[in-house]
């Protein structure tokens, strides 16, 4: 079984190019400044089928070599390891900030065959967090380790009868910005890849415990007492290919991206500090 689990990261990278992908971050902040981070990553049915087929073939090979059948428990263990990777999720906690710990991680299985993981992290002090939409192992603070801009959110918190959460976006630029020619080529490549990325979604939501009294955020989810910092739904975005391509070309200018009117896309102005007062 150890031989199988070592190949899990490689299989996931393969699957990401052959099926839909959903990434979801929800930061929930309590009135004392503590809270939780829920991170969901889900692969679509096609990607799941591909991964399962590959690991299944490997299991058969191991059975032939050892003469022992892989048990249902071992198959379940492999399935969980493949999609959850608890050790990796636990190690990821430090990337979210000081004092963040993994509380739980479990396998998610949908009726349509999609599978993934849901990890819940807890923290005592929101001001020590650093949050960005990244599901890889890159150092999101090191310009040498990235080829495009990233937005990393930090936080301030004022306690009281009506606490105030301040969300500070920090734009991390790559060491070498791509040229206009490179951006055009990248945009064309992305447009060509869209059929393989059907169903892909990504979101970062900040939810508070209580009721929002006042906020300067543009994208407010009133029923959930939440603010959406980023939301990407590729299927909806592709209904307007011209604007979508323009968004890709504006990779060097996230402020201009945030002003685009494109269905399935929301981005709070990364140059604007957001305040959320609640009770």
Q: Helices 180-193 and 241-249: crossing angle, nearest 10°?
A: 140
How confident is residue 71, by pLDDT bands cut at 50, 70 and 90? confident
Determine the 3-state secondary structure of 69 from DSSP. coil
Nearest-angstrom CA–CA distance, 199 and 163: 37
Pairing of strands 201-208, 21-29: parallel
Mean pLDDT of 72-88: 75
Nearest-angstrom CA–CA distance, 190 and 247: 11
Pairing of strands 115-123, 201-208: unpaired
Mean pLDDT of 105-132: 91
134 pLDDT exceeds 70? no
- Tokens at 126, concatenated: 């929101």
pTM to 2 decimal places? 0.81
- Tokens at 117, concatenated: 């993981």
**Using only C-alpha atoms, what is the Rg of the chain?**
20
Quick one: 226 exposed, middle or buried, by C-beta within 10 A (0-12, 13-18, 19+)? buried
pLDDT value of position 61: 67
pLDDT value of position 5: 33
- Are the beta carbons of 89 and 117 closer than 8 angstroms? yes
pLDDT value of position 227: 97
pLDDT value of position 171: 86
Q: Please report where in the chains the tokens 């902040």 appear, as a residue.
A: 29
pLDDT value of position 11: 36
- Are the beta carbons of 201 and 22 closer than 8 angstroms? yes
Q: Helices 45-66 and 8-16: crossing angle, nearest 10°?
A: 150
Query: What are the residue boundaries of the structural domains of the chain, listed by start?
Result: 1-18+36-124, 130-279
Nearest-angstrom CA–CA distance, 257 and 269: 8
- Are the beta carbons of 76 and 5 closer than 8 angstroms? no
pLDDT value of position 37: 97
pLDDT value of position 55: 64
How confident is residue 183, by pLDDT bands cut at 50, 70 and 90? confident
142 pLDDT exceeds 60? no
Mean pLDDT of 257-261: 89
């Amino acid at each position: 079984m150890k031989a199988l689990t070592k190949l899990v990261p490689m299989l996931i990278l393969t699957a990401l190019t052959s099926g839909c992908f959903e990434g979801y971050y929800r930061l929930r902040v309590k009135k004392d400044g503590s809270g939780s981070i829920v991170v969901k990553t889900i692969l679509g049915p096609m990607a799941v089928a591909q991964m399962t087929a590959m690991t299944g073939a490997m299991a058969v090979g191991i059975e032939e070599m050892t003469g022992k059948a892989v048990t249902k428990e071992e198959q379940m263990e492999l399935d969980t390891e493949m999609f959850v990777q608890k050790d990796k999720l636990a190690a990821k906690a430090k990337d979210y900030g000081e004092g963040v710990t993994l509380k739980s991680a479990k396998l998610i299985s949908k009726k349509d065959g999609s599978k993934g993981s849901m990890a819940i992290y807890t923290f005592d002090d929101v001001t020590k967090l650093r949050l960005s939409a990244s599901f890889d192992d890159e150092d999101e603070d090191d310009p040498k380790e990235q080829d495009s801009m990233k937005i990393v959110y930090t936080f301030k918190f004022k306690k009281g009868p009506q606490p105030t959460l301040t969300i500070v976006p920090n734009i991390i630029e790559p060491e070498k910005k791509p040229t206009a020619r490179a951006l055009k080529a990248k945009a064309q490549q992305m447009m060509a890849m869209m059929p393989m990325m059907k169903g892909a979604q990504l979101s970062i939501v900040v939810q508070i415990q209580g009721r929002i009294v006042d906020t300067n955020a543009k994208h407010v989810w009133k029923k959930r007492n939440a603010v959406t910092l980023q939301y990407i739904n590729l299927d909806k975005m592709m209904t307007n290919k011209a604007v979508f391509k323009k968004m890709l070309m504006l990779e060097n200018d996230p402020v201009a991206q945030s002003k685009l009117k494109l269905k399935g896309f929301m981005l709070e102005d990364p140059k604007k500090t957001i305040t959320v007062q609640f009770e």
